[in-house]
Amino acid sequence: MVTLVDGLTAVLLVSIAASFAAALLAWRERPEPGASAIVLMLAGVVWWAAFLVFELQASTVARKILWSDVQWVGVVVIPVAWLLFALAYTGRDEYVRPQVVAVLAVVPAVTVVLAATSNAHDLLYRSTTVVSYGDLVLLERTGGPWYWVVAAYTYVLGALGFVPLLGLIRSNAVLFRGQSAALLFGSLTPWVTNILSVAGVLPLPEFDPTPIAFAVTGVAFLGAVTRFQLFDASPAPNWRARRLVFDRMDDAAIVVDSHGYVVDANESAQALLGRARRDAIGEPVASMLPSLGPLDADCRPEHVAIDVDGDETPFDVSITPVRDVRERLIGRVVTFHDVSRYLRQKQRLEVLNRAFRHNVRTDTQMILGYAGQLSPDTDEEREAVGIVEQRATRIAALGEKARVIVDLLEREEGPRVPVSLHELLDGRVQRLRTAYPAVTVGVSEYPANCTVPATLGPVVWNVLENAAEHNTSDDPHVEVEVEATDDRVELRVADDGPGVHASEYAALESGTETPLHHASGLGLWLIHWGTDIAGGRVTFADNEPTGTVVTLDVPRLD
């Protein structure tokens, strides 16, 4: 016949086996974040349950008291290890330092000493009596002052350990939610059991079944390791990575509370604030950055000039409100993007645009005008004049393409303006037929109500013009095909000319030119950059048997 002692012993042995198996799996995963801490916690469970078995099996009261006191070693290890695991596993390992562990271990160390000397004082237990339930003999021990101190300490550490894991429940990653749910379920069971035991509401008030409840913990941890890849896919980098991104981002960023006081700042903001981050925290942002103005202003200037190391530097400022779960404003993140380089580039583009628009055009027109006034007498002189006119025309065309490119670059920062494909394509096809009457131009059908970025206009014309101008075929053809989906438009222009040299493709693919790989002009670069500004991509392929196929894949804006 199975006695009550044997039944409790068997259940405790099951708990020991489950916890030991989970500890072995966790041991194999070292040094993954939290693995060592979970091994220590489960070792505490095994220690507690094992010596509780000794207490149940002991034949004398003195031995029962001895094994009861020895159990405290495992009892006090569990909450400390649990908190260290939660911190390390969720990436808050800056708190898992020897100094922090030493502080956390003070109360457990004092408890073990008081348990070892319990006969000499009543700090841990005020009294000890024996209660019998048939063959089951249990100790009824009334807690002293330190007992309630260590009980409160245990519950506080347990609650602190649950906090970072609860954050994973809200994670977008199903894997991390599964891990957190398994850990929380497995850990809540023994904590709740212990609270009920301390409150004395269980059937055997003198017997603490918490070690038995840890069998659920062992099974849950085994499931977390095998089913949810507890240590194979760890969320530990998330916490540190987000902080690292904030600290190391190139743009300066400060965090202010709802009253305008700085509560955090990244490394890049130190030069902006004119002081170290630790000195800026707690100071009003208005006193350090008066040119920033009120953070709650409805209308902000395009750029804010701030003195940085003696230089007035323009910044594009973005303000992101921070709200709590009740949508109340609790602060703001203010990000500063240095736009001085952008403004300098814009200024240079404006100068280049003016030079190409006026100077180059004027000078080439003058060259052509003077060349037209010459009266060559010999074939050599007529040939020389023809070369001058040809070169001047090429310079004028090059300047015009450069001007178009500058216009496109200036429009890159603005919003994409839609234009109908009919307006974009038909007029340019007709213009091509007029300029190159010997070229046969075919256009496939396409959706009537289809819009694309307007910046694609110069690109399409250059593709069409290149296909016709350089086509030396006896019967030149240019075919335009359009395919449209719900969100993309693919425009293909195929010709039967001599094709494009491989070195020009290589220059476009590398994004730069070299003495060996370079484009013959600005036309291909205009196509490449213009398509990119339109949010699309361009590909070049050989046509069969001769020629080139240029494909423009761009977003459909309607």
**The pLDDT of residue 513:** 43
Say if residues 488 and 553 touch (Cβ distance below 8 Å).
yes
Q: Please state, in angstroms and as integers, the Cα–Cα distance from residue 532 to each residue in 118, 507, 529, following that order.
A: 79, 16, 5
Say if residues 176 and 166 touch (Cβ distance below 8 Å).
no
User: Quick one: DSSP state of residue 264?
Assistant: E
CB within 8 A of 51, min separation 6: which ones? 67, 68, 70, 71, 74
**Is the Cα torsion angle 176, 177, 181, 184 positive or negative in sign?**
positive
- Cis ω on the peptide bond leading into residue 31 (within 30° of 0)? yes
Does the 4-236 domain belong in CATH 2.30.130.10? no
Annotated domain spans of the chain: 4-236, 249-338, 339-410, 416-558
For the record, the structure tokens of 408 come out as 């496109």
Tell me the CATH architecture of domain 249-338: 2-Layer Sandwich (3.30)
Q: Residue 140: which region, alpha, beta or left (left: phi > 0; alpha: psi -120 to 50)?
A: beta
pLDDT digit of tens for each residue in the chain (558 aa)? 567 787 888 888 888 888 888 788 778 777 777 778 888 988 998 898 899 889 888 888 889 899 999 999 998 998 899 888 888 877 777 777 888 889 999 999 999 999 999 888 899 989 888 888 877 888 888 889 998 999 899 889 988 887 777 766 665 444 455 556 666 666 677 777 777 877 777 777 777 777 777 767 666 666 665 555 555 455 555 656 667 777 778 888 988 888 888 888 888 888 888 888 888 888 888 888 888 888 876 666 677 877 776 678 888 888 888 887 678 888 888 999 888 777 777 666 666 666 666 666 676 777 777 677 777 777 777 777 777 777 777 766 666 776 676 677 666 666 788 889 888 888 899 999 999 999 999 988 888 788 998 888 888 888 898 888 878 888 889 999 999 888 899 999 999 888 776 666 555 555 444 443 334 456 777 788 888 888 888 888 888 888 889 999 999 987
Note if the pTM is more than 0.75: no
Q: In the chain, helix, strand, coil percent, each to 5?
A: 55, 15, 25
Least Cα distance to 158 among 85, 103, 50, 109 occurs for 85
If you write DSSP's letter for every residue of 285-297 in order, what string do you get? Answer: HHHH-GGG--TT-
Say if residues 429 and 461 touch (Cβ distance below 8 Å).
no
The length of the chain, given as a count of residues: 558
CB within 8 A of 114, min separation 6: which ones? 121, 123, 124, 146
**The pLDDT of residue 276:** 85
CB within 8 A of 139, min separation 6: which ones? 55, 61, 64, 65, 68, 128, 129, 130, 131, 206
**The pLDDT of residue 471:** 81
Beta strand 477-484 pairing with 440-443? parallel
Q: Is 349 exposed, middle or buried (0-12, 13-18, 19+ CB in 10 A)?
A: middle
**The pLDDT of residue 517:** 39
| End-to-end alpha carbon distance in the chain | 82
**Look-up of token digits 């013009």:** 465
Contacts of residues 314-321 at CB distance under 8 Å and 24 or more positions apart, as own/partner, are 314/338, 314/339, 314/340, 314/343, 315/252, 315/339, 317/292, 319/295
Q: Where are the alpha helices (DSSP H) in 314-378?
A: 340-354, 361-373
Q: Where are the alpha helices (DSSP H) in 97-209?
A: 98-104, 106-116, 145-169, 174-199
Does the 416-558 domain belong in CATH 3.30.565.10? yes
Q: How far apart are CA 533 and CA 380, in angstroms?
A: 47
Q: How far apart are CA 74 and CA 276, in angstroms?
A: 46
Count of CB atoms situated within 10 Å of the CB of 115: 21
CB within 8 A of 428, min separation 6: which ones? 457, 460, 461, 464
